[in-house]
């Protein structure tokens, strides 16, 4: 399934970052465009299925939904939802400038050396 391969790739990417720093993963921030063809609920289910045996076992998944952003390649004008996707000034067809992405935006890591020393 599509969402499962996305999660697999995300966790691999996170594992490389975390291993390089010897860090624990606290939280992932992922941006998903509304036109990315990703079912966010399914993505969360896939994540929960995958994570127990990975560096992400204790990491929360934070998903930010990104709205489709159609723009005119001529004048840069943006199109609102429901508008005809052709510029009324230039006559050019709108081009998708955002909203089809799947991006790992940020990983919150906990580096062990940074932890406060235990007080006895």
Interface contacts to Zn ion, rule CB under 5 A: 72, 74-75, 77, 87, 89-90
CB 96 within 8 A of CB 68: yes
Query: What is the nearest approach in angstroms of Zn ion to the Cβ of residue 81?
Result: 18
Nearest residue to 12 via CA among 107, 100, 111: 107
Spell out the residues 6+ positions from residue 27 whose beta carbon is closer than 8 angstroms to its own.
Answer: 59, 60, 61, 62, 107, 108
CA–chain centroid gap for 51, Å, is: 16
Query: What is the nearest approach in angstroms of Zn ion to the Cβ of residue 86?
Result: 9
Residue 27 or 77 with smaller CB distance to Zn ion: 77
Query: What is the nearest approach in angstroms of Zn ion to the Cβ of residue 72?
Result: 3
Residue 49 or 86 with smaller CB distance to Zn ion: 86
Residue 8 or 73 with smaller CB distance to Zn ion: 73
């Amino acid at each position: 399934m599509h969402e499962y391969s996305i999660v697999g790739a995300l966790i691999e990417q996170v594992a490389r970052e975390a291993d390089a720093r010897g860090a624990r993963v606290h939280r992932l921030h992922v941006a998903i465009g509304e036109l990315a063809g990703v079912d966010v609920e399914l993505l969360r289910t896939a994540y929960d299925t995958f994570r127990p045996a990975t560096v992400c076992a204790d990491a929360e998944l934070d998903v930010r939904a990104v709205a489709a952003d159609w723009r005119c390649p001529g004048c840069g004008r943006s199109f609102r939802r429901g508008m005809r996707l052709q510029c009324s000034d230039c006559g050019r067809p709108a081009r998708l400038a955002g909203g089809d992405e799947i991006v790992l935006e940020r990983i919150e890591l906990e580096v062990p050396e940074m932890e406060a020393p235990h007080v006895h």
